[in-house]
Amino acid sequence: MPIKHHRPSGAGASNAKLNLSVLRDTTKSRLYRLHTASANDIDKLTELEREVFPTLWPPINFAREIKKPTQAVLVVSVRSGTASRGPAEQTGSLVERVVDGIKTLVMSGTPLETAFGAGGQQNEDRIAGWAIVWFVAGEAHIASIGVSGADRRRGVGELLVLGTIDSATSNDCDELTLEVRKSNEAAHALYRKYGFRVVGERKAYYVDDNEDALIMTTPDIREPNYAASLTNLAAEHAHRWAETGSRFERV
């Protein structure tokens, strides 16, 4: 979804906080780290954007976006490698805290130092995806999300959605909005899963082909029912994608 300089407005605040950490033992795995972008990420982000959105114009100026105080640029970096496994590496623990202590989830996993410790082969970090979120008057707007083709269907897009909700709550926002291509049914399904609903359209929103955009928004993310649902969704995300060898860490 290309970035558009449309600044929504809203009201309200939230004190909820989402923390994600998934560590899983696999013979071939990818560790995805969600963190705030820095100047060191700019070149990689620019290159990835050209891959993901080759027809986007104008391109995102990540150097400028990172410096703005009223928004967040989130990055998922990835490290791939083959880890050595032994009998002692078959069990472990995973503690995932979601939404400011609403629920603590414990499930099977392996500590990070075991999966990527001595004897394991590591590759350099690269960027698997990004998200840009604007914060205005109690509302967060997801201006852009992109995922590398090599990392799709591994839980990265969903991790970024969880990260944007985390950022929204940390910045005292009570809802999130976004625009998405009308034809992007896979994205529609992901956003609906996290409570987004269609509230309108923007005609000829995308300049490369004049495709319409759907406007989607969440309910109040401060509501206890939404927070409880988010807890369950985060747990489901951890369990589901661990089977593909994806492991996640919130930095």
1 falls within a domain: no
What's the pLDDT at 28?
A: 61
The confidence score (pLDDT) of residue 80 equals 60
- How many whole angstroms from its chain centre is CA 226? 18
Per-residue model confidence as pLDDT tens for the chain (251 residues): 444 434 333 433 344 444 444 333 334 689 999 999 999 999 999 999 999 999 888 899 999 999 999 999 999 999 765 333 333 333 333 333 333 332 322 233 333 332 333 333 445 689 999 999 999 999 999 999 999 999 999 999 999 999 999 999 999 999 999 999 999 999 999 999 999 999 999 999 998 889 999 999 999 999 999 999 999 999 999 899 988 889 999 88
pLDDT of residue 148: 96
Positive or negative CA dihedral for 37, 42, 48, 50?
A: positive
Domain count, the chain: 1
User: What is the spatial distance between Cα 5 and Cα 134, in angstroms, rounded to a whole number?
Assistant: 10
With vertex at residue 84, the alpha carbon angle to CA 82 and CA 90, rounded to the nearest 5 degrees, is 115
Residue 97 lies in a domain: yes
Strand partners, 107: 94
| Within a domain: 211 | yes
Give me the pLDDT at residue 83, please: 37
Q: Is residue 231 part of a domain?
A: yes
Structural domain boundaries enclosing 118: 21-250
Asked whether residue 12 is domain-assigned, the answer is no
CA distance 234 to 244: 16
What CA–CA distance (Å, rounded) separates 200 from 196?
12
pLDDT of residue 155: 94
Q: Is residue 43 part of a domain?
A: yes
Report CA 196 to chain centroid distance, whole Å: 15
- Establish if 4 belongs to a structural domain: no
Residue whose structure tokens are 């992007």: 184
**CB neighbour list of residue 64: distance below 8 Å, 6 or more residues apart:** none
CB-facing half-sphere around the CA of 72: CA atoms within 13 A: 23
**What are 72's two structure tokens?**
């967040």
Q: What is the pLDDT of residue 130?
A: 98
pLDDT at residue number 126: 93
Whole-model pTM: value is 0.74
171: CB partners within 8 A, 6+ apart: 72, 135, 140
Has residue 9 been placed in a domain?
no
Length of the chain, in residues:
251
Predicted local confidence at residue 228, as pLDDT? 94
What DSSP string runs through the chain? --------------------EE----SSEEEEEEEE--GGGHHHHHHHHHHH-TT-SSPP-HHHHHH-TTEEEEEEEEEEEE----GGGS---EEEEETTTTEEEEE----HHHHTSTT-EE---EEEEEEEEEEETTEEEEEEEEE-GGGTTTTHHHHHHHHHHHHHHHTT-SEEEEEEETT-HHHHHHHHHTT-EEEEEETT--TTT---EEEEE---TTSHHHHHHHHHHHHHHHHHHHTTTEEEEE-
- pLDDT value of position 73: 98
Q: What is the CATH number of the domain that holds 124?
A: 3.40.630.30
pLDDT at 187: 96
